[in-house]
Chain A
Amino acid sequence: MVHITINGKVVKAAEGEMLLTVLKREGIDIPALCHHEAIEPTGNCRLCMVEISRAEWEGWKKHVTSCLYPVEDGLIVNTHTPEVIEIRKTIIDLQLANCPDSDVIQKMAEEYGIYKTSYETVPEGDNCIMCYACTRICEVLGKSAISAVMRGHKKVIAPPFGEEPPDCIGCLACAQICPTNVIPWTDTDSTRTIWKKTFDLITCTSCGKAVITKDFAEYLMAQRQIPKEYFETCDECKRMATARKMGEIVTKAQEAAL
């Protein structure tokens, strides 16, 4: 257990815990676009920056991204200094120029009083904020089917060679985790297409509703030893089956009691 001072208040935290986690627990509003608990922090968006200092630093301070700064005893944190606000506003302003059509960014900008970007709108902007959440989540699955390619402003998230990603299993984790919802996919009754790759969906044997992609089910069967039959029906039909099965048991018990 360590003690840190946040905006003048002493707070307890676990040693090595990331500062952002502590700040959130304390109910402090810190914008964070690239942070997600399921993935390792990488510090791409820089929005979660706060000012830190220590008593022995004699007034010297620095700015760090709280999402990947492990707390240590005696840390003094200030989350809303004019410099910190200036950093956040500038970054949001830059993001607004980069993704003018993203409602997530627009909303965030409005919270900081920015209604129009101070910069020139990026012509080739596509609402991707390059937070790497998608590539990182895919890495957690051990797939890394997509990655960031090229450099600098030309950087894009793409499958290898821009072709159908061979390692993709169509789980949608990338599309779901994307904070600005820019990864498109389409589902039909029996197929799903993402990253230009089309997958067969398992359809419920009783009602025909889509469950998950065959590839994802096979992955879970192999990785996590989930029996194949669990994936064969949809959740609703599984609940109905459960009711029937339990009902049978109840009926039998009642008959036996008679």
Chain B
Amino acid sequence: MRIDSIAKLSQWRQECQAKLAAQKRKVLVCLGPGCLAGGSDEILEEFKRIVAEKKLADISVEAVKKTGCHGFCARGPLVVIEPEGIFYSKVKKANVAEIVETTLEKGKLVEKLLYTDPRTDKTYTDYKEIPFYARQERISLRNVGQIDPDEIGEYVARGGYAALAKVLTEMKPQDVIDAVSQSGLRGRGGGGFPTGRKWATCAREESDIRYVLCNGDEGDPGAFMDRCIMEGDPHSVLEGMIICAYAVGSREGYVYVREEYPLAVINMQKAIDAAHECGLLGANILASGFSYDIKISRGGGAFVCGESSALMRSVAGEVGEPRAKYIRSVVKGLHDKPTVLNNVETYATVPVIMEKGADWFRSIGTEKSTGTKAFSLAGKVRNTGLIEVPMGISLREIIFDIGGGIPDGREFKAVQTGGPSGGCLPADKLDLPVDFDTLTRAGSMMGSGGMIIMDDRTCAVDVARYFLNFLVEESCGKCVPCREGLYQLHKLCVKICEGKATENDLALMERLSKVIQTASLCGLGQSGPNPFVSTVQYFRDEYLAHIRDKKCPAGVCRELITYTINDKCTGCLACIKVCPVDAITGEKKKLHVIDQEACTRCGSCYAVCNFDAVDIV
């Protein structure tokens, strides 16, 4: 069906909405990455099978839907039953029959699958009331987890492509740029560059060809916001890109998707095809005379390919390596033509701004960081998953109110924001408002939105070592400060972890870091020393403990710890059985002893002991 007028689009929207309204009951099965790993595809099939078999009055097979990530990955696989919003967590295939019988047939709840907040022991039915969801405000994730990403009709029913229609009929390109500028939208991919200003520069450049590209490379370990948007609501990205293309006068663009995201590639491609078929993409969009087409370009699989100049080279079929130049890519980008590159989340936000207006967007967030931001919570936090919150919210609210705090009775130690080259912020920074500038001032950065929470059993030096290692592996190796500098910085960090470093080494690391930051060619190297710089800023004592006292206070660095058995030992033999080097001796019901010479400090005994009888010192 080709939609070649605004009237037709409205009519189609009404039809889509009517079709959805006719589905009294809906079962939404999350097929986001987390739930999928828990077998949610089988749960979906099981629902479809049983619902088809039972021929229920209130629900049809079509109303059993797959959705993108619902966010609360820690509790997956997730199933939501609409219209009540009944939230079933940790669902297994075996539970499906019971859910159908109890909830869909009898209208009752399967209590054991409901979510209970471990802190308050309160049980929730409607997911919207769960603290994890209640504090969120979803703009870029507005449809993720709510719609079947393969159905363009569901996107349209929820107001999709209305912004595009409005832009094409009521706004001139300059109006669009002005609106984006006024909204204060800043890039969600890391740098936080004002999106409106980027578009304006590109539009101003004299050129026959301009490109509008989308950065879906998302190389930060632990981050999956962009993935979830591309998988769960691909049309929102396309709509944002088309609006941008109209604003800057582009006819062609690419979505650069990371090789490791096959489902994102499939869903984006399906969305592109569907939009094409409806006349929402390609030649003469909505019969407005404006044409724009999008192709998918698959990433080279390296972290550095997310860097803009490397990405553009990769799209052009060259080696995905950054290019040094002092001419910005909005002026000379892909194939040396003016190019706008924005992040997935940035584009997904644009249609909402067009629809609701710049002032509405500005009213959310802070003055200089407007709107909302998606984050992925990972590490030592109860509610790992995907969230979206207004800018300016405190780290404490994110980690404790939404994230549910630190599990296993441990203490919060630090949060790493901004991906591998971001920084670690300690407990006394928990009340900082989360916005671009505050995080940068505190020595970290917003980055693309990965948040890794660490508890008191995490060693700051070891964290720096870990991220430096990642960056050494991911450095493209083209420029010397990054290739050789990060390599040496990592070596020195390892030296500290092994208790072999001196304070001179620490001073050398600090000097070296400064040079790497100023002299590196691209953003990877320029922010590469951050894991070290931010940890040494906030956890200097811990560094010094490794250096002066040859101790790892968190009990992590192998070379600096010893495992001993205290008198809580019941003599259960468990540790003796797991020790890979037979370093533990003892008899049943008698205190066991670790031979320090033989011990390799692998931690197996500590992990297996049920009586807290293994000490790390």
A residues with a Cβ closer than 8 A to B are 41-47, 49, 63-65, 68-70, 83, 86-87, 90-91, 94-95, 97-98, 118-120, 122, 129-130, 132, 147-148, 150-155
Contact = CB atoms under 8 A, between A and B. Distances in A.
B474 A152 contact: yes
Contacts of B38: none
Interface string B517-551: 01111000000000000000000000000000000
A148 B480 contact: no
A210 to B, nearest CB: 35
B480 A94 contact: yes
A152 B476 contact: yes
Nearest to B471: A152
B324 A65 contact: yes
A90 B512 contact: yes
Given A94-B488, A122-B487, A148 B481 contact: no
B515 A86 contact: yes
Contact of A91 (B478, B481, B491, B521): B481
A151 B474 contact: yes
Give the top 10 A-B pairs by smallest Cβ distance, nearest first.
A155-B477, A43-B324, A94-B484, A152-B475, A90-B515, A152-B477, A119-B488, A46-B519, A153-B487, A87-B519
A153 B325 CA distance: 23
Interface in B502-522: 508, 511-512, 514-515, 518-521
A98 B147 CA distance: 54
B485 interface: yes
A61 B512 CA distance: 20
A70 B325 CA distance: 10
B472 A97 contact: no
Contacts of A147: 319
B483 A152 contact: yes
Contact of B511 (A86, A152, A154): A86
A127 B380 CA distance: 44
Contacts of A154: 477
Interface string B283-304: 0000000000000000000101
A94 B478 contact: no
Interface residues of B, number: 33
Contacts of A98: 484
Given A46-B521, A87-B515, A151-B476, A69 B326 contact: yes
21 contacts: A43-B479, A44-B521, A46-B480, A46-B519, A63-B518, A65-B324, A68-B324, A69-B326, A70-B326, A86-B511, A86-B514, A86-B515, A90-B511, A94-B481, A97-B488, A119-B488, A129-B480, A148-B319, A151-B302, A151-B476, A153-B487
Contacts of A49: 518-519
Given A69-B326, A91-B480, A94-B484, A43 B521 contact: yes
Contact of A95 (B473, B474, B478, B480): B480
Contacts, number: 106
A70 B326 CA distance: 8
Nearest to A132: B478
Contacts of B514: 86
Contact of A63 (B319, B508, B519): B519
Nearest to B484: A94
Contacts of A132: 478
A97 B480 contact: no
A182 to B, nearest CB: 15
Contact of A42 (B324, B480, B483): B324
Contact of A94 (B325, B477, B485): B485
Contact of A153 (B302, B304, B472): B472
Contacts of A150: 477
B519 A148 contact: no
B480 A44 contact: yes
A14 to B, nearest CB: 17
A153 B477 CA distance: 6
A91 B511 CA distance: 12
Contacts of A63: 518-519
Contacts of B480: 44-47, 91, 94-95, 129-130
A118 B515 contact: no
Contacts of B515: 86-87, 90-91
A118 B324 CA distance: 28
Nearest to B475: A152
A41 B323 CA distance: 10
Contacts of B472: 152-153
Contacts of A97: 484, 488
Contacts of A148: 319, 321, 477-478
Given A49-B519, A87-B515, A120 B488 contact: yes
Contacts of A47: 480
A198 to B, nearest CB: 28
A72 B133 CA distance: 53
A68 B518 CA distance: 16
Contacts of A120: 488, 491
Interface in B206-255: none
Contacts of B304: 151
A152 B518 contact: no
A77 B581 CA distance: 63
A136 to B, nearest CB: 12
B508 A118 contact: yes
A70 B508 CA distance: 34
A43 B525 CA distance: 14
A94 B321 CA distance: 22
A90 B517 CA distance: 12
B184 to A, nearest CB: 24
Contacts of B477: 130, 148, 150-155
Nearest to A119: B488
Given A94-B481, A94-B488, A87 B475 contact: no
B502 to A, nearest CB: 12
A41 to B, nearest CB: 8
Interface in B488-509: 488, 491, 508
B518 A87 contact: yes
Nearest to B512: A90
Nearest to B481: A46
A94 B481 CA distance: 8
Contacts of A129: 480
Contacts of B512: 90
Nearest to B521: A43
B99 to A, nearest CB: 48
Contacts of A151: 302, 304, 473-477
B73 to A, nearest CB: 30
Nearest to A129: B480
A69 B302 CA distance: 28
A129 B479 CA distance: 9
A189 B608 CA distance: 71
B484 A95 contact: yes
Contacts of A46: 479-481, 519-521
Given A152-B475, A152-B487, 13 more contacts: A44-B479, A46-B480, A49-B519, A86-B514, A86-B515, A87-B519, A90-B519, A91-B481, A94-B485, A119-B488, A119-B508, A120-B488, A132-B478
Contacts of A122: 484, 487
B517 to A, nearest CB: 10
A90 B491 CA distance: 16
A42 to B, nearest CB: 6
A87 B526 CA distance: 13
Contacts of B475: 151-153
Nearest to A117: B488
A68 B309 CA distance: 15
B519 A155 contact: no
A152 B488 contact: no
Contacts of B521: 43-44, 46, 65
A83 B515 CA distance: 9
